[in-house]
Structure 1
Amino acid sequence: MILIVLKAQIRPDKREEWLSGISQYKKDVNSEPGNISFDYHENVEKENEFVIVEVFRDSAAGDAHVKTDHAQKFFDFMGSVVPEKPLINFQSEDGKDAWVEMGEVTPH
């Protein structure tokens, strides 16, 4: 099993666009055969900070997810609504985990 947690601050002027985009992305990701769950939540203490929690069956499912068209489009979309790179915490079977900048998303 692969657990991925993302933390992203969303620009206030892009909030509604974000909510629409992440809602559709949730549907897309949840339809992937290797996906166990995909959820997102807003931090109650930090307005417009969202946490995304993704769980995949295994590394192969996680790798396949990143290569999907909807993921590639979402990474570009996400870059248009964030002021800085989101943080990612990736935990896998080998027990490694760390908060690092998400390489797939570049703010623009």
Structure 2
Amino acid sequence: MILIVLKAQIRPDKRDEWLSGISEYKKNVNSEPGNISFDYHENFEKENEFVIVEVFRDGDAGTAHVQTDHAQNFFPFMSTVVSEKPKINYQDIDGDAWNEMAEVTPQ
């Protein structure tokens, strides 16, 4: 399983363009057969910083993702809206990337 976490600082003047582009990209990535999940969230403590969390079945699914038309179009688009080079955390994990949190149980 591949777990990818990105941090991207978006230029304030490109915020609306970013939100439109990332929303469409999310739909496309979530429709890929090897995708488990794709989500993005804004850091409310740091304006216009977004975190993207992607999970793919395996390395082959990750490779297939990067080769899709929507990924090939999104990467150049992203370079026009960020104010600095995004940070990435890429993890190739054996087994399931999601486990239950031991410290919290619903009551």
* TM-score in terms of structure 2 length: 0.86
Write the distance in 2 (CA, Å) between the matches of 1:69 and 1:86.
Answer: 21
Calculate percent identity across the aligned residue pairs.
Answer: 82
Aligned twin of 1:30: 30
Write the distance in 2 (CA, Å) between the matches of 1:41 and 1:59.
Answer: 24
Aligned twin of 2:90: 90
Write the distance in 1 (CA, Å) between the matches of 2:88 and 2:29.
Answer: 17
Letter aligned with residue 70 of structure 2: H
Aligned twin of 1:97: none
Aligned twin of 2:49: 49
What RMSD in Å do the two structures reach over aligned CA positions? 0.8
Aligned twin of 1:72: 72
Write the distance in 2 (CA, Å) between the matches of 1:93 and 1:77.
Answer: 29
Structure 2: gaps (5+ residues):
95-107
Q: How many residues align?
A: 94
Letter aligned with residue 29 of structure 1: V
Is the CA contact 2:3–2:93 (under 8 Å) kept in the aligned structure 1?
A: no
Letter aligned with residue 33 of structure 2: P
How far off is 1:44 after superposition? Answer: 1.2
Write the distance in 2 (CA, Å) between the matches of 1:57 and 1:93.
Answer: 10
User: After TM superposition, where is structure 1 displaced by more than 2 Å over at least 4 residues in a row?
Assistant: none
Write the distance in 2 (CA, Å) between the matches of 1:36 and 1:26.
Answer: 12
Letter aligned with residue 81 of structure 1: V
Write the distance in 2 (CA, Å) between the matches of 1:87 and 1:34.
Answer: 23
Write the distance in 1 (CA, Å) between the matches of 2:2 and 2:64.
Answer: 12
Structure 1: gaps (5+ residues):
95-108
* TM-score in terms of structure 1 length: 0.85
